[in-house]
Structure 1
Amino acid sequence: MDILELAKKSGFFVTLDGKIGREQYQSVHGSVTALERFAEAVRTEVDHERHEKCPATPPPGTRQSG
């Protein structure tokens, strides 16, 4: 999961603050609405990753009977 890409797609502004050697220092700025979209995107991504690892589980958004 590329967390910075999810942040950008959610509406955050990601800046490169500095680079020291191989380490990059970045900041993320955005609205509460962007934060809500980001949280939902992370949850969706985790659900999809979980389903890919264990295909016997129902896909995200479906209900199990029982």
Structure 2
Amino acid sequence: MNILELAGNAGMLVILDGRIGRTEYRSVHGTLDAFQRFVHAFEAALANDEESDLSRCRRGLCVESSSS
């Protein structure tokens, strides 16, 4: 799940404020409506992750995903 992509898709403005070495500093701006769309998209993404985790479980044993 790319949280910055979720924010952009919800209508929020994602700005790269600066970069120092490998660290990026970003700001996210938007309306309350855009923030609410972001929250709904985030909740849906979390629910999808939980469902996919459950589908990997077999006979009480779950395989952990190496991706974040």
Q: Same fold (TM over 0.5)?
A: yes
3-state SS of 1:54 partner: helix
Query: TM-score scaled to structure 2, two decimals?
Result: 0.79
Shift of 1:52: 0.4
Gaps of 5+ in 2: 56-68
The structure 1 segments of at least 4 consecutive aligned residues displaced by more than 2 Å after TM superposition are none
Percentage of pairs with the same residue: 42
Matches within 5 A, 1:1-66: 1-55=1-55
Gaps of 5+ in 1: 56-66
Query: TM-score scaled to structure 1, two decimals?
Result: 0.81
Number of matched residues?
A: 56
Q: Root-mean-square deviation (CA), in Å?
A: 1.2
